[in-house]
Structure 1
Amino acid sequence: MCHPSLKRLIVLFAAISLSLSGTALAAEQIRFANVSWTGVTVKTELGKLVLKSLGYKVKSSNLSVPIAYQAMDSGDADIFLGNWMPSMETIANKFFKRGTVEQLVANMQGAKYTLAVPSYVAAGGLKDFADIAKFTDKLDHKIYGIEPGNDGNQIIQHMIDEDMFGLGDFKVVATSEPIMLTEVQNFVREGKWIVFLGWSPHYMNQLIDMTYLTGSTADTFGKNNGTATVYTNVRKGFAEDHPNVTRFLKNFVFPIDMMNEISQLLHDDHGFNHASAGLAWIKQHPDVYRGWLQGVTTSDGRPGLPALEKYLQEH
């Protein structure tokens, strides 16, 4: 018969073992911070899919851009695939300088993020940031943005607050990606004038005959008229905690054509969601996912590529 003191020690040891085991399991969970933009959501869903096939526990949380950085800063999120630069400098740079968030790799080059107009508006004379204020009445003193807290909205608000380009009496209309695009399409149908946030890659570039404005500056959307590079960010210490996942993330890059094609799939076929559209695309482009898995293993150390290919065959 077990002595009571020994029994208590056994129970205590079991409780400690369970606690340590739970901590280890929690530490193995990979946490993505996501924002509700088409491209970043596709990337996030593909990242989750690949890591699940490798045996990792993953989750994602939909957050605004500022909250995504606060989550990485506090250690409550691990990865963010949507660091658009230079437009996010005012939000992200303080975390980079503090060292709590690290810029791991450029996952997409040659992107674009700036103000745009329907092409008939550009033909009517609104081609540059400096032209916007000339057409105040046609624009009803409004520039259309996306979700509150977004870096693009913040840049527009900064332009208004500083009366840059004579925009002091304008206001930002904060909406969301789908609401803004619906508004733009409504304006286009009626031949009305509108200035809005535009970016590429995105199906809006095929859906709308649109023109990106020139005249962006270093303290707005960048000197190169909104040309952007998108980076993968991770929380401090993530690379040391998860070297195998970090190796995957460094390989996890996206050609512009890939993102445009997936975005178009989402628009054309309402049966697709972000995950299934991304999955359908990579099944047709094995060279891309094979590059992602170079040098990458499963969570228990086996070759990663066969595990992903088995997953793709089953889904």
Structure 2
Amino acid sequence: MKLDIKPLVLCLSSLLALPALAAEPESCRNVRFADVGWTDIAATTGLATVVFKGLGYTPTKTIASEPIVFAGLKSKQLDVYLGYWDPSQTPAITPFVQSKSLKVLPSANLEGAKYTLAVPSYAADKGLRTFADIAKFRKELDGKIYGIEPGSQGNAQIKKMIDNNEFGLKGFKLIESSEAGMLVMATKAFSQKRPIVILAWEPHPMNFLMKLTYLSGGDKQFGPNYGGSKVYSVVANDYQQRCPNAGKLVDNLKFTLDMENHVMNPIMSKVDPELAAKQWLQRNPQALTAWLDGVTTFDGKPGLDAVKAALAQ
């Protein structure tokens, strides 16, 4: 029996004539970032946004509290969060991790961070150096400790210390507002040389705009080494399977304290985070090489060349 190969040839010819498929489905083009309103997360999200745009994606950002961010990742209404601080946010994220409702990427995107209570160095010079010293300065502090936005784990830890009378803090009041609100009060206290206790962290421009002393003795509450922390990226639990190219970029993103401090500084002066990030990348394009290793544009072309071209515009 003679095999008629004409139909096979025609079928193959038709397949070869099709246009190249995009690297990912259209649903992956919009990368939905979460941001809890901290300047360091604004900086890293800004950096990622610039790179994704250069690759032909259309990233968006939602600002929300920690619980809403984790719930949004669980429900797949959000895709990426670059700001899981370990250990401070670990109690909040653990139930989601245990139920496999989201995925924490295994390699930290930032190491060497810290997150605990701090005071102006002039207050430390007067003896306010440890958690145990706070109660001794109750009158000068007006019985207040300044936190950040409601729902943050840092605030929850301060409230727990007050409720349990740890370090003799019973009767103190936690002032919750936002990162910006806390910094306004800190700046005012610095200008008047008044003592103040704030929830502080690094990376952040506050560390070179104000001379701070981080309090010792809070290892149980915030972790050793002055709340020594690592920051991890978190994605919806199937994001890397649905959007492997975008997921690869998120996995590649690694930052440094110096990088974040320099991107955050103009943001603190009301420069748009995306613009601040773009300006930093224009001055430091070498960061792109590792980030874009194995990453293409949305339509499958070389990623590094595309992002460099976009930054040159």
Instruction: State whether TM-score is above 0.5.
Output: yes
1:156 aligns with 2:158: yes
Q: Residue in 2 aligned with 1:311? A: 310
Question: Aligned equivalents of 1:158 and 1:242: distance in 2?
Answer: 40
In structure 1, runs of 5+ residues without a counterpart are 1-23
1:58 aligns with 2:67: no
Question: Aligned equivalents of 2:73 and 2:177: distance in 1?
Answer: 25
Question: Aligned equivalents of 1:53 and 1:281: distance in 2?
Answer: 15
So what's the TM-score if we normalise by structure 2?
0.88
The one-character-per-residue Cα deviations of 1:152-177 (angstroms, maximum 9, x if unpaired) are 11111111122211112111101111
Question: Aligned equivalents of 1:136 and 1:111: distance in 2?
Answer: 29
**In the TM superposition, what is the alpha-carbon distance from 1:263 to its structure 2 partner?**
2.0
Question: Aligned equivalents of 1:247 and 1:27: distance in 2?
Answer: 13
The one-character-per-residue Cα deviations of 1:93-149 (angstroms, maximum 9, x if unpaired) are 111111111111311100111100001111111111111111111111110011111
Q: Residue in 1 aligned with 2:76? A: 75
Would you say how many aligned residue pairs link Structure 1 and Structure 2? Answer: 288
Question: Aligned equivalents of 1:208 and 1:280: distance in 2?
Answer: 24
The residue correspondences of 1:280-291 to structure 2 (distance < 5 A) are: 280-291=279-290
1:191 to 181, 190, 193: 193
Q: Residue in 1 aligned with 2:44? A: 43
**In the TM superposition, what is the alpha-carbon distance from 1:81 to its structure 2 partner?**
0.4
Asked whether the 8 Å contact 1:111–1:229 carries over to 2, the reply is: yes
For 2:111, the aligned partner's letter is: Q
* Alpha-carbon spacing, 1:242–1:27, altered in 2? closer, same or farther (3 Å): closer
Question: Aligned equivalents of 1:290 and 1:151: distance in 2?
Answer: 35
For 1:289, the aligned partner's letter is: L
Asked whether the 8 Å contact 1:83–1:232 carries over to 2, the reply is: yes
Q: Residue in 2 aligned with 1:228? A: 229
Question: Aligned equivalents of 2:125 and 2:177: distance in 1?
Answer: 26
Asked whether the 8 Å contact 1:114–1:226 carries over to 2, the reply is: yes
1:141 aligns with 2:140: no
For 2:299, the aligned partner's letter is: D
Q: Alignment identity in percent?
A: 40
In structure 2, runs of 5+ residues without a counterpart are 1-24
**In the TM superposition, what is the alpha-carbon distance from 1:303 to its structure 2 partner?**
0.8
The one-character-per-residue Cα deviations of 1:218-243 (angstroms, maximum 9, x if unpaired) are 3x211222111111011111111111
* Alpha-carbon spacing, 1:266–1:76, altered in 2? closer, same or farther (3 Å): closer
Question: Aligned equivalents of 2:260 and 2:303: distance in 1?
Answer: 24
Q: 1:147 is paired with a residue of what secondary structure? A: coil
Asked whether the 8 Å contact 2:119–2:198 carries over to 1, the reply is: yes
Question: Aligned equivalents of 2:95 and 2:161: distance in 1?
Answer: 21
Q: 1:225 is paired with a residue of what secondary structure? A: helix
1:299 aligns with 2:298: yes
Question: Aligned equivalents of 2:58 and 2:207: distance in 1?
Answer: 36
Question: Aligned equivalents of 1:70 and 1:211: distance in 2?
Answer: 35
Q: Residue in 2 aligned with 1:19? A: none
**In the TM superposition, what is the alpha-carbon distance from 1:26 to its structure 2 partner?**
3.6
The one-character-per-residue Cα deviations of 1:251-288 (angstroms, maximum 9, x if unpaired) are 11111111111222334x65x32111111111111111
Question: Aligned equivalents of 2:31 and 2:193: distance in 1?
Answer: 47
Asked whether the 8 Å contact 1:216–1:224 carries over to 2, the reply is: no
The one-character-per-residue Cα deviations of 1:6-65 (angstroms, maximum 9, x if unpaired) are xxxxxxxxxxxxxxxxxx634542111112111101111221221122122321101111
Q: 2:138 is paired with a residue of what secondary structure? A: helix
Question: Aligned equivalents of 2:287 and 2:245: distance in 1?
Answer: 18
The residue correspondences of 1:82-231 to structure 2 (distance < 5 A) are: 82-104=83-105, 105-218=107-220, 220-231=221-232
**In the TM superposition, what is the alpha-carbon distance from 1:188 to its structure 2 partner?**
1.6
